[in-house]
Amino acid sequence: MARCSAGTTACPSEVARAVHAARGGSGDGWRDLMEPVRQAARRLAADGELEITQNGVVVDPSRAKGPVRLRPVR
């Protein structure tokens, strides 16, 4: 997320893929990181460091259904 430009968002799967690649992983092992990425996103949102959005609107992660995007708070 630190690589995101101000105001841009990332899909949680993009974050999982980036972490997986940074660890030297290949293939679809990134899928195992999806829940840890979601948990980290919820913690960062609770700390005010990250916003979780749907259709550009900040949502409560405990109530969000469907695809979300992650946006760093700068």
Which pLDDT score is estimated for 2?
64
Distance CA 23, CA 45 (A): 24
Give yes or no for residue 1 having a pLDDT over 80.
no
Residue 45 near residue 63, CB atoms below 8 Å: no
Which pLDDT score is estimated for 18?
93
Which has the closest alpha carbon to 32: 10, 17, 48? 17
pLDDT tens by residue, 6-64: 668 999 999 999 999 999 998 999 999 999 999 999 999 999 999 999 999 999 988 88
Which pLDDT score is estimated for 16?
96
Single pTM value for the model: 0.86
Give yes or no for residue 3 having a pLDDT over 80.
no
Q: In order of start, what are the domains of the chain with their CATH numbers?
A: 12-72 (1.10.10.10)
